[in-house]
Amino acid sequence: MKLGLVLPGGGARAAYQVGVLRAIADLLPARAINPFPVITGTSAGAVNATALAVHADRFRVAVGNLERVWRNFQVEQVFRADTASMMRSGLHWLFAMMSGGWLLPPPKSLFDNSPLRELLKEQFDFARVSKSIEAGQLDALSIAAAGYITARSVSFYESKAGSVPWARLRRVGEPAQLSLDHLMASVAVPFLFPPVLMGNEYYGDGAMRQASPFSSAIHLGADRLLVIGTRNESHVVCPQPPVCPTFGQIFGYMLDALFTDGLYADMERLTQINNLLDNGLPAQQGELHLRKINLLVILPSRDISEIARHHVGSLPRALRVLLRTMGALNTGGGQLMSYLLFQDSFTRELIALGYQDAMKRSEDLLAFIGGFSVASTGATGVMRRLSSRQEQSAETQ
């Protein structure tokens, strides 16, 4: 049975994934190779996935390099947030809108993320992905992006021989020699970062149109999936009386839906299929062949949006002014902040949280990685908790 690792997007929240990976590295032997033959990533999760793939020969080294970057992150390493850059961006938007595009063309994005390109170029040698595959330390790496022209979710993958491209409604798998452009396309959050031209099409963040985040891992041969999410599913109490959401809160809500709703929908779908197969449903349904996919899901035990609110003071002043103008510093604005808070104080707290959450499930993790069954694992337990919370919420209304 082949184990796959699924790392969804989440902006700065992806630091939580690093903490979970750090725990796994500590649980495994010191010189262990990568334990995940298939690795798939989306947006910031694609950055973490690539880090594991380029050093698949030494899993602890890969995680150590990744942790070092995340523990020392500064916003300026991801996008230009100094006062001059923010003023130029604001004036560009202003003159473009006032002149209808005559004085200046519409800007491609709110932020300039060229510093991130330089950072990733320095950190990743993509030629090592092919070497890891040739050495048998990795079967496949997949990076998701979304095409703006074809309106498709595209999983660009590099794999050992035998993997077959796939095409479904609005989603495809395309073999490719993965590069920095694929990674920059996957992290190109709409409006915030500019799209990336590859071939004859511009691509944006991989979470867009990604209705089936587990699809690429399954197509590439995985039948056991470790999923590291970035959203806590604790019940949110609405303020009394309700307060009209600000633009910043709405934008944070949109990013939250972009990065996580497809994940939970796919989780629910796979859980239902697994239950049907367990109850005797034939695996062969006409031309469709169903197979059971075992899931182990690790989610934050705390609300990351609330954690972010305690670190807003570490952001550059110009960015704080922008967030305040958008209403993201008000009550309920923590979602947007949590995606943009590429600051070491915040990322270190998320790494620590991920490590603690993973260590609490160390027995489950080791059993799952070792190929053993884990009781009440993965989506089943998560969906039960979600259903319970929905029922409790309905009872109080």
Does a structural domain hold residue 96?
no
Q: Is residue 86 part of a domain?
A: no
Q: What is the CATH number of the domain that holds 13?
A: 3.40.1090
Q: 3-class SS at 29?
A: coil
Mean pLDDT of the chain: 88
Residue at 348 is within a domain: yes
Residue 98: inside a domain: no
Q: Average pLDDT for residues 318-336, to the nearest whole number?
A: 80
Alpha-carbon span 98 to 234, nearest angstrom: 44
> Which pair of tokens denotes residue 309?
């609110």
Furthest C-alpha separation in the chain: 66
Q: Kindly report the backbone phi and psi dihedral angles of residue 370, in degrees, each rounded to the nearest multiple of 5, phi listed first.
A: -80, -5
Looking at the structure of the chain, the number of domains it has is: 1
Task: For residue 98, give the 3-state DSSP assignment.
Answer: helix
Inside any domain, residue 92: no
Residue 110: the pLDDT is 86
User: What pLDDT score was predicted for residue 388?
Assistant: 47
d(CA 145, CA 79): 20
- Of 23, 35, 22, nearest in space to 138 by CA: 35
Q: Is the pLDDT of residue 151 over 50?
A: yes
Domain membership of residue 99 (yes or no) is no
d(CA 196, CA 171) in angstroms, rounded, equals 18
Please compute the mean of the pLDDT values over residues 312-332 and round it to a whole number.
Answer: 83
The two tokens of residue 13 are 């929240």
Q: Which residues are catalytic?
A: 43, 205
Q: Say if 62 falls within a structural domain.
A: yes
Q: Is residue 87 part of a domain?
A: no
Residue range of the domain that includes 50: 3-80+109-395
C-alpha 227: how far from chain center = 10
pTM over 0.85: yes
Is the pLDDT score of 199 beyond 70?
yes
Residue 116 in contact with residue 184, Cβ under 8 Å?
yes
Do 338 and 300 form a contact (C-beta atoms < 8 A)?
A: no
Q: What percent helix, strand, coil does the chain show, rounded to 5? A: 50, 15, 40
